Amino acid sequence: MLEHPIYFCTVILTAVFMDLVIGDPRSIPHPIVWMGRAITFSEPGFRRIFKNQLLAGMVFAFFLIGAAWLLSAALINLFSYIHPLAGLALETVLLFFCLSAGSLEKAALQVDDALLSRGVAGGRGKVSMIVGRDVKHLDESGVIRATVETVAENFVDGFLSPLFFAVIGGVPLAVAYKMVNTLDSMVGYKNDRYILFGRAGARIDDIANYVPARLSVLFISMAAALLPQGARGFKRAGEALTSGISEGHLHKSPNAGFPEAAFAGALAVRLGGGSYYHGTFVDKPLLGSRFPEPGRKSIQMACDLMLLSSFVSILAALMVSIPVRFIIFAS
């Protein structure tokens, strides 16, 4: 059942405010950590029960995703039964834990600070904490490029997709999405261990991010016009839209290329290209190949663009969903 428009706005806006102000709280238990522990704990049992590892991974993924939705929905209903404000508070906190724009900005700026204070070696150390590629081969431009790509891709994974699912299905669906995302990050590898068992989790993640990734091109383009660049902002908005539409599909990932290509156009920098992963060189297409390599200001600009894109996506979510909710509650 859809929430009342005022209730919905309160949950969304408060959770976003908490994310931007508090970021990722390290001192309190985080549901994403619990999801990771549930995945680790459950995996051996599903492997034993189902001899077919493809089937085992499929049942494993659907079980955990369903459990995340069911548990969060049950807790919200229980807290709401105790008192409506308790339910509101729990929904807000759960959605807050699903969002990560604030912590993403903080992590990216730490890379920037490390490059400034300790050079390439310091930048490699910090960027290794937020990317999956090998960092020992990266020069300064490579560190900056990896950081910008991570900010772009995680705008979708860490903000837009949870917001999207909260809008269409409430906070429990956003929590279920985070389980999908966590599954992909833990078992969605194409190695001997997970090529079959992790395939379902990876495919579900691809499907879940399909619409948000493509919507991100529009929101990033609109945000590019708001960057403090004067009249150039509107040109960058057009570049972001053009790059996102024409180059987003070039990436090997079915979704990651769209926000990355849009960021490349908005910031007028070249992203993509080959990188080392687990000791193996993986060639990837260039995005924004007509632009130069990212420079020292690119990380800060990427963070600004990510936050502005988050702001635009919130406005879009409210503008679309509030009238629908008013119509439903008025009927």
Three-state SS annotation for 242-261: HHHHHHHHHCCCCCCHHHHH
Token pair for 160 = 């837009």
Q: Which helix (DSSP H) or strand (DSSP E) does residue 160 occupy?
A: none
* Sign of the dihedral defined by the CA atoms of residues 22, 108, 131, 290, in that order: positive
Report helix, strand or coil for 230.
coil
> What's the confidence (pLDDT) of residue 76?
96
> What's the confidence (pLDDT) of residue 88?
94
Tell me how far apart the alpha carbons of residues 106 and 93 are, in angstroms, rounded to a whole number: 20
Report helix, strand or coil for 236.
helix
What is the DSSP code (8-state) at residue 99? -
Residues of the chain with pLDDT under 50: 230-231
3-class secondary structure per residue, 1-27: CCCCHHHHHHHHHHHHHHHHHHCCCCC
Q: Which helix (DSSP H) or strand (DSSP E) does residue 285 occupy?
A: none
Residue that the structure tokens 């879009």 belong to: 316
> What's the confidence (pLDDT) of residue 322?
84
Tell me how far apart the alpha carbons of residues 196 and 191 are, in angstroms, rounded to a whole number: 9
Beta bridge partners of 276: 281
Pick the closest to residue 238 from 254, 250, 220 (CA basis): 220
> What's the confidence (pLDDT) of residue 48?
95
Task: Give the residue extent of every domain in the chain.
Answer: 5-330
Residue 205 main-chain phi, psi, to 5 deg: -65, -40
Per DSSP bridges, beta strands 275-277 and 286-287 are unpaired
Residue 281 main-chain phi, psi, to 5 deg: -75, 125
Q: What is the pTM of this model?
A: 0.93
> What's the confidence (pLDDT) of residue 7?
87
C-alpha pair distances (Å), 24 with each of 32, 35, 36, 88, 182:
11, 16, 16, 20, 16
Tell me how far apart the alpha carbons of residues 115 and 140 are, in angstroms, rounded to a whole number: 8
What residue type is assigned to position 293 of the chain? E
